[in-house]
A = this chain, B = another copy of it.
Amino acid sequence: MTIKKIKYHRVYEDVIEQIENLILEGNLAPGDVLPTERELAQAFGISRGTLREAFRILEREGLIETRPGGGRFLSKNLNKAEDKSRIIENIERATIIELLEAREIFETGIVELAAKRATEQDILEIETALEKWGKIDSDSDDPTSPDQAFHLSIAKATHNVVLVNLIDLHMDLLQKTLNKTVDIPGRKDEVYKEHFNILQAIKEKDPSKAREAILYHLKQVKQNILSTTNGR
């Protein structure tokens, strides 16, 4: 039997959940005013202070708005507000396979764009990132952040903030798993070579060559990950 962490129960979290449920069940409509702090506190059987902690969170998430002296009411765009944080949470729960698959799709697009658009300055930054990767020795504590930096520098060459941030997010989520693959003997040099080829294609402004280079790289990464994990 596995050992479960005992999670401390916070009252305010219950309250948040209950209020969220009320909203989702449609018992409360956008724009509706909520009962007063004092009423709700009594109804929930908790103190005003605790209730307000819950409201602070709901406020931050955009579910409710507060008019001091006036009252609290549901904000109009309740669904979207919550969706956005949920989207990231959903992505976090994805399997590595799914992440890699998505990454393959948009990183091929990124390198193609980068090959078309990279300025001399962009290329310089990619080179710098590549060199940092070359310098790390395997005892270094965090070998993936240079890798992140390399892929990020390429994304930046597209001059598209959406693509930059998507890669950013993905590298973050993959980081823990990627760490393990660097330990594979000889893998570090291979990665350097693969990165080098990508850079080369971008320098030559050859989108299809860049595409092939990143596809090969991602294929290797995938293989290495699968050999060190069980796919989650």
Binding site for B on A (CB under 8 A): 8, 12, 49, 52-53, 56-57, 60, 68, 80, 83-85, 87-88, 90-91, 93-94, 98-99, 101-102, 104-106, 108-110, 113, 160-166, 168-169, 172
Contact = CB atoms under 8 A, between A and B. Distances in A.
B99 A162 contact: yes
A164 B49 CA distance: 39
A229 to B, nearest CB: 17
A176 to B, nearest CB: 10
Q: Is the interface of A mostly helix, strand, loop or mixed?
A: helix
A169 B166 CA distance: 11
Contacts of A94: 160-162
9 residue pairs, one from A and one from B, having the closest CB atoms: A105-B109, A102-B162, A106-B106, A90-B165, A98-B160, A87-B165, A94-B162, A53-B56, A98-B162
B98 A105 contact: no
A160 B101 contact: yes
A162 B56 contact: no
Contacts of A56: 12, 53, 56-57
A87 B161 contact: no
Nearest to A56: B53
A88 B84 contact: yes
Nearest to A8: B68
Nearest to A102: B162
A68 B93 CA distance: 28
A171 to B, nearest CB: 11
